[in-house]
Structures are given as C-alpha cells and as structure tokens.
Amino acid sequence: MSMMFYSPGWELAVDSPGSGELLITTVTDSTATGTVTDEKWYRAYYGSQVVQFLAAVTARALCDIAGRVGHEDLPAFLTPDVARGLLPTLQKAVLLTLAGSDRYERVFPDDGRAPAEPLCIRCHKGSFFPYLAISSEWCEQFGHRAFGTSLERWEEAHEAYRLNREGWKRTETRRRESRKSPQLRLPDASGGGEE
C-alpha cells in the first residue's frame, strides 16, 4: 500500500513499501503549508542511496558540512533549518521504504487502532497482506518468531497480543460510551474524584 508523507515544503512518496525506493520532491506552489524553496527539486533514491540521503540530511541538520548523497551534494536550499524541519518525516518515510508496511505499522501504530497481530519475521504469518506468507521449513520445525518482541515463542507472542487487544477493546468501549452519554459524567454531589 503506497503512502505519501508531507512536511512543510516537501512531499515524499513511498509507492511500494519495502522496495527500497523513495521519491522526494519540493512543493513550490503551496500557500497552505509553506515552501522551503522556489526550486522544483525532485529525486528518486534507491537502496543505499536512501540511507545516504538520510545521513546527509541528518549531518546538515547538525550543521555538519558533510552533505553528500552518493556523488551528489545536497542542494543549497537544504540549510540546517530546512533539514531539521524535514528530518522527522524523512525518518518515517525511510523506515517504510526499507522495512515495508507490516513492520512500519507495528512500530508506528495509528492512534486508537486495534493492535496488530504478531508477524513472523521468517514466513510473514500474521501479515496484513496474507498473500505475502510463504512456507518456511524452519518455522515448521522450530516455530514462528514474532517481530519486535523479546518473546521467543509464537504462543507467548499471541498471548501478549490477546491481552493487548482486550485492553484496547476496554478502552474503546469506555471511549464510545463516554461520547454517547456525556451527561452521565457530570460530577456527583459527593464530590468524588476520578475512579
């Protein structure tokens, strides 16, 4: 699932998460978000160039003179201030570019969304995209290994997921109820505080 990232003056496109391709362009005609330059600047970075670009922008943000992306220098308009503005969005776009949607969504979960089920790092069992799952002799023999957890057994990862999901459901139910009947939340006469 492709994703666009926006930072004032910039658009970053990850058309195919996990493919190692990052497209970045300046926005020169926006009055809403502001611009960083009048120059239309567009680059497509692949694989190691993606990381070189991130390293160069980070160096520029830290006022280091280093700012080389492969054979090419960063553009002059990418000043330390501009680099600092771009960096948080660029980091997220780079992670999606390299790690793919399944891992990205698990390290940057959407607010209020149900926790994602465990993802096997070898065979992709539990993926948002079931067609990605492959058969793994290793998994068949030794079991699956969940991404982003110290829990080594698949069953433990699923148990932790079950508890997380129950907690999330309780929070959601409370949130929905308090939205439905705000009058019930008026402070009572005894002046009791929050539960």
State the nearest-atom distance from the C-beta of 127 to Zn ion, in Å.
10
Site string for Zn ion, 115-134 (x = CB under 5 A): -----x-xx-x---------
Q: Examine residue 139 and tell whether it contacts Zn ion (CB under 5 A).
A: yes
CA gap 137, 90 in Å, rounded: 37
The interface with Zn ion within residues 16-75 (CB under 5 A) comprises: none
CA gap 30, 66 in Å, rounded: 30
Which CB sits closer to Zn ion, 61 or 139? 139
The interface with Zn ion within residues 161-180 (CB under 5 A) comprises: none
CA gap 89, 13 in Å, rounded: 11
Interface with Zn ion by CB under 5 A: which range of 16-24, 31-39, 73-81, 138-146?
A: 138-146
DSSP-H helix ranges across 66-153? 80-107, 137-142
Interface with Zn ion by CB under 5 A: which range of 28-36, 58-66, 141-149, 183-191?
A: 141-149
* Count of residues engaged in binding Zn ion, rule: CB under 5 A: 6
State the nearest-atom distance from the C-beta of 120 to Zn ion, in Å.
3
State the nearest-atom distance from the C-beta of 145 to Zn ion, in Å.
7
Q: Which of 60, 92, 103, 144 binds Zn ion (CB under 5 A)?
A: 144
Q: CB under 8 Å to 13, separation ≥6 — which residues?
A: 2, 3, 4, 5, 22, 23, 24, 25
CB neighbour class for 12 (10 Å; exposed up to 12, middle 13-18, buried from 19): buried
State the residues that interact with Zn ion by CB under 5 A: 120, 122-123, 125, 139, 144
